[in-house]
Homo-oligomer: A and B are copies of this chain.
Amino acid sequence: MTDRARLLPQLGEVFRAHGYEGASLALISQATALGKGSLYHFFPGGKQQMAAEVLAEIDAWFEHNIFAPLRDDDDPARAIAAMLKGVDSYFRSGNRVCLVGVIALGHARDIFADAVNGYFARWQDALVSALRRTGQSPAMARKRSEDALLTIQGALVLARARDDAAIFTRALADLKARLLA
């Protein structure tokens, strides 16, 4: 179990860099310094199980570090600020791509549809909860939370497309102002 915990982040980076279909076992074997035999020992379900567990771990990280504070923090504005700080850190200020977004755009979405949809659904619900507690109407909270998720994803795409991570940093700064307006 502890070996697996060290493995998942490495797998995540391979899937991030090459996508689900592009992440070959040869690349994974190289990135983890583990033979195929060992990989199948940990993940009898092969590549699909690897990706599923990586997605689950990402989901758990966001649940603990972002979603839960958004839902539970006594100071919702602080939780929102912490979300943006956490997001900036997680995505390395625009230099790291969102694996859930990558999978959503590819053909692998069909396999991981529930995980992909659930991740964004729970993020949005948690953010709606925080925005509501700052006194915003349900409609406004819903609209702004959708704007937030979409802005983060779009900024990551554009930053990578233009090879300019500053796009992501600017987008997060603007987003903060819009969310708390």
Contact = CB atoms under 8 A, between A and B. Distances in A.
A117 to B, nearest CB: 5
A107 interface: yes
Interface stretch (A39-47, A64-72, A84-92, A146-154): A146-154
A104 B19 CA distance: 11
Interface in A1-44: 17-19, 21-22
Interface of A: 17-19, 21-22, 97, 100-102, 104-107, 109, 113, 116-117, 119-121, 143, 146-147, 149-158, 160-163, 167, 170-171, 174
Q: How many copies does the complex hold?
A: 2
Given A107-B22, A162-B120, A167 B146 contact: yes
30 contacts: A18-B107, A19-B22, A19-B105, A19-B106, A21-B22, A22-B22, A100-B161, A101-B105, A101-B161, A105-B156, A105-B157, A106-B106, A109-B161, A113-B163, A117-B161, A119-B161, A143-B170, A146-B167, A146-B170, A147-B171, A147-B174, A149-B154, A149-B158, A150-B151, A150-B155, A150-B167, A150-B171, A151-B154, A153-B154, A154-B155
